Amino acid sequence: MKLLRKLYDWVLSWAESPYGALALFLLAFAESSFFPIPPDVLLIALCIGNRLKSFWFATLCAIGSVVGGSFGYLIGYSVWMIVQDFFFKFVPGFTPEAFEHVKNLYETYNFWIVFIAAFTPIPYKVITIAAGVCTINFPMFLIASTVGRSARFFLVSTLIFIFGEKIRNFIDRWFDWCVVAFTVLLIGGFIVIKWWAS
């Protein structure tokens, strides 16, 4: 936990740097395949520091994350058998049980698995690598990642743009739960529509 806290503080320190935007892109890239701290932390700090650039920061974050997710896919597709022990041992939340569970889910819900992980607090890195291991359709993976990641980061940026510093504590405390609730409602809506149509 101390190491994670130091990483968290280090990530936040980039908000005061002239290289904050570049750091955001690189953080979003890394978090999609191996880094434990989500880019939302730096995104929020940068948006509060310059609200007029909120949507530019969200765009950078989304692009970096989707490119990083594609790298995660490549890891799973090409070198997973070589690097799996590293991920299971050193990447928080990346357990053999979680990975096997994701692989099983992919057989039925591939698009929704990627979208939900991209949008919610579920570790996106587990999903991107598992997608490569399972060799799911790559264009579909890109579409689901782009929609999910963009929706998440633009939601954060929009809240900061509208409410500024006042919303920061709310996002820190409740954002993930709100995203989970929204996702449940979204999927529930699709299920109801499908049931109604049948």
Do 112 and 187 meet the contact criterion of CB atoms below 8 Å apart? yes
Residue ranges per structural domain of the chain: 2-197
The mean pLDDT of 172-189, rounded to a whole number, is 65
CA distance 184 to 42: 27
Q: How confident is the model at residue 188 (pLDDT cuts 50, 70, 90)?
A: low
Do 155 and 52 meet the contact criterion of CB atoms below 8 Å apart? no
Average pLDDT taken over every residue of the chain: 83
Q: What is the pTM of this model?
A: 0.79
Least confident of 11-20, 61-70, 172-181: 172-181
Give pLDDT, residue 99.
81
What is the greatest pairwise CA distance in the chain? Answer: 56
Spatial CA neighbour of 52 closest among 160, 168, 186: 160
Confidence check: pLDDT of 24 > 80: yes
Look up residue 6 and give its two tokens.
């130091």
Give pLDDT, residue 30.
93
pLDDT in tens, 88-144: 887 777 788 888 877 787 877 888 889 888 888 778 888 899 899 888 899 999 999
Give pLDDT, residue 48.
86
Q: How confident is the model at residue 3 (pLDDT cuts 50, 70, 90)?
A: low
pLDDT in tens, 139-153: 999 999 999 999 999
CA distance 103 to 97: 10
- Number of Cβ within 10 Å of residue 196's Cβ equals 7
Confidence check: pLDDT of 178 > 60: yes
Spell out the alpha helix ranges (H) of 32-123. 40-49, 54-74, 80-90, 96-119
Give pLDDT, residue 133.
87
